[in-house]
């Protein structure tokens, strides 16, 4: 199983200035300021489970932009109901990317209080039609093309290795900076 960073590198490399990237709190949000991202980024440092509904609000308001929302499995486990909300709203310009490592990585690596979740099955049960599991970073390019072309919102599920030794940088941008820099 591949670790996070190769997936994040691959995904970021596929984004264009016409996209919008919304990141959940934690490792992805901490890595992004250290990467070159072509798309505007709104990264959370608190508020678990807010990334997808925040991205939904952006996607519905700006149908001309494709919005990519990064969410962690611990965070989505807190409010999986949002999958049904997104499915019902149906914006074709929203792709959710779920990072599945079974742990609350940013709070010390505690295991999730759940048996391994079948996220694709849950997402389909919630009404999402386009759900794909991507097991290697090299598969992201085709998966994102397919997600962009789907007639409704898409979910990409990325099983990643949990690496307690990953040297994740600290939060290096403050919320005021993130907000001030975010323009569509």
Stretch that binds other proteins, among 30-38, 99-107, 117-125, 174-182 (CB under 8 A): 174-182
Q: What are the residues facing 114 on neighbouring strands?
A: none
Phi first, then psi, for residue 60 (nearest 5°) are: -70, -30
Residues 6 or more apart whose Cβ sits within 8 Å of residue 70: 21, 22, 23, 24, 28, 51, 97, 99
148 binds other proteins, rule: CB under 8 A: no
User: Which of 81/135 has CB closer to other proteins?
Assistant: 81
> What is the smallest separation between the CB atom of 102 and other proteins, expressed in angstroms?
23
79 binds other proteins, rule: CB under 8 A: yes
User: Which of 10/59 has CB closer to other proteins?
Assistant: 59
Query: CB of 45 within 8 A of CB of 25?
Result: yes
Region 89-108 residues binding other proteins, contact defined as CB under 8 A: 89
Token code pair at residue 5: 């960073």
CA distance 30 to 89: 30
- Which of 107, 121, 175, 181 touches other proteins by CB under 8 A? 175
Q: What is the DSSP string of 79-91?
A: -THHHHHHHHH--
- Which of 102, 117, 129, 182 touches other proteins by CB under 8 A? 182
Region 7-46 residues binding other proteins, contact defined as CB under 8 A: 20, 22, 42, 44-46
81 binds other proteins, rule: CB under 8 A: yes
Stretch that binds other proteins, among 4-12, 105-113, 148-156, 176-184 (CB under 8 A): 176-184
Crossing angle of helices 81-89 and 51-61, in 10° steps, is 10
**Rounded (10°) CA dihedral 131, 161, 49, 95:** -30
User: Which of 132/173 has CB closer to other proteins?
Assistant: 173
Chain residues that interact with other proteins, rule: CB under 8 A: 20, 22, 42, 44-47, 49-50, 52-62, 65, 79, 81-82, 84-85, 88-89, 175-176, 178-179, 182, 184
């Amino acid at each position: 199983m591949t670790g996070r960073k190769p997936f994040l590198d691959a995904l970021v490399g596929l984004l264009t200035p016409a996209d919008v990237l919304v990141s959940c709190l934690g490792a992805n949000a901490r890595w992004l300021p250290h990467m070159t991202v072509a798309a505007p980024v709104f990264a959370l440092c608190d508020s678990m489970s807010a990334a997808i509904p925040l991205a939904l609000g952006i996607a519905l308001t700006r149908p001309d932009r494709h919005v990519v929302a990064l969410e962690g499995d611990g965070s989505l486990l807190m409010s999986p109901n949002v999958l049904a909300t997104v499915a019902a709203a149906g914006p074709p310009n929203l792709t959710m990317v779920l990072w599945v490592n079974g742990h609350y990585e940013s709070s010390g690596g505690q295991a999730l209080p759940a048996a391994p979740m079948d996220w694709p099955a849950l997402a389909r049960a919630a009404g999402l039609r386009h759900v794909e599991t991507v097991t290697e970073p090299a598969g992201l390019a085709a998966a994102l093309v397919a997600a962009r072309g789907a007639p409704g919102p898409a979910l990409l599920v990325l099983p990643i290795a949990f690496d307690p030794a990953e040297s994740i940088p600290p939060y290096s941008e403050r919320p005021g900076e993130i907000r001030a820099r975010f323009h569509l």
